[in-house]
Amino acid sequence: MSAVRLAVPDEVMRRIRAHGVDTYPHECCGALLGRDGDGRREVIELVPLANHRDDSPRNRFEVMADDVRLAEKMAHEKRLELVGWYHSHPDSPARPSEYDRDHAWPWYSYVIVSVQKGVACDVTSWRLQEDRARYEREEIETVAHPVGI
Amino acid sequence: MAVKVIIPTPLRAYADKRESIEVQAATVAEALAALTTQFGDLKKHLFAEDGKLRSFVNVYVNDEDIRYLQRDQTSVKAGDTISIVPSIAGGAPKRGRVFPWPRKR
């Protein structure tokens, strides 16, 4: 059983899937704004962002530091936190790659949607363990509405 | 001279949960060295095994990206603020390779 959970409104889940389909066969990416505390993390809204990996957009994504700062600013203005990121794996499973691990920090939630032949399939979420050796999967709890709104 | 280093939220757990740390330094390299000496667990998240900043870790001095200054030899002066900002990168595995995750027992 997973030790960590991520509450995600069904509308946010729908938009993550739709973004993955829209950009297929390229990877999509974006930020997740929400709240973290008291043993619970919840996403409130998402911020779709541009994938800057023009050289290999089918199996790579990159959110530039300026966009990261923009997402942090948006979260601050909404009195939320930047709790994680999402991206798609076109025609690949919704599991983190070694490349994902090399470019991750602990604490963030990394949500991955698998898009198979243009159809959004599994959505999973992961957190990098503190020793950077592997990911821990976190259970996604789909909720009807953002909690606390 | 004293400069302030802003600790990004994901790494605060490794810095006594503090939002910022004041260190004595004359360059960015000295500031990051002082920071990771004080909080050793930060090191592996900022630096790769070869001792260089991880490729996705960006450093700013008062909103200026150090890549456009003198990189880690960029001078800092009293009152400067150093920010550590990640680029977020990743992607699907090649040929079906995925990172190992805990096996079911």
Chain A residues with CB under 8 Å of a chain B CB are 27, 29, 53, 56, 58-65, 68-69, 81-82, 85, 87, 89-93, 95-101, 103-108, 110, 126, 130-132, 134-137
The answer to whether B94 contacts A59, with C-beta atoms less than 8 Å apart, is yes
B99 min Cα distance to partner chain A (Å): 5
- Per-residue pLDDT of B59-103, as tens digits, reads 999 999 999 999 999 999 999 999 999 999 888 886 544 555 444
Residue A64 resides in a domain:
yes
* CATH number, domain containing residue A44: 3.40.140.10
Q: State how far the alpha carbon of A142 is from the alpha carbons of A128, B30, B49, in Å.
A: 21, 46, 38
Give how many domains chain A has, as a whole number. 1
Residue A148 resides in a domain:
no
The answer to whether B86 contacts A59, with C-beta atoms less than 8 Å apart, is no
What domains sit in chain B, N to C, each tagged with a CATH number? Answer: 2-86 (3.10.20.30)
What is the domain extent for residue A125? 5-143
Average pLDDT over every residue of A58-62: 89
The answer to whether B101 contacts A134, with C-beta atoms less than 8 Å apart, is yes
The CA distance from B89 to A40, in Å, is 25
A143 min Cα distance to partner chain B (Å): 25
The CA distance from B101 to B105, in Å, is 12
For residue A76, give the chain B residue with the closest CA. Answer: B9
| Confidence band, pLDDT 50/70/90 cuts, at residue A145 | confident
Q: Are B70 and B61 in contact (CB under 8 A)?
A: no
As for the ipTM of the complex, it is 0.84
Residue A149 resides in a domain:
no
Within 8 A by CB and 6+ apart from B14, the residues are: B39, B41, B42, B45
Residue A101 resides in a domain:
yes
Residue A91 resides in a domain:
yes
Instruction: State chain A's mean pLDDT as an integer.
Output: 92
Tokens 């001095």 -> residue:
B61
Residue A130 has pLDDT above 70, yes or no: yes
For residue A100, give the chain B residue with the closest CA. Answer: B90
The answer to whether A56 contacts B91, with C-beta atoms less than 8 Å apart, is yes
CA dihedral A71, A72, A76, A82 (to 10 degrees): 90
**pTM, full prediction:** 0.89
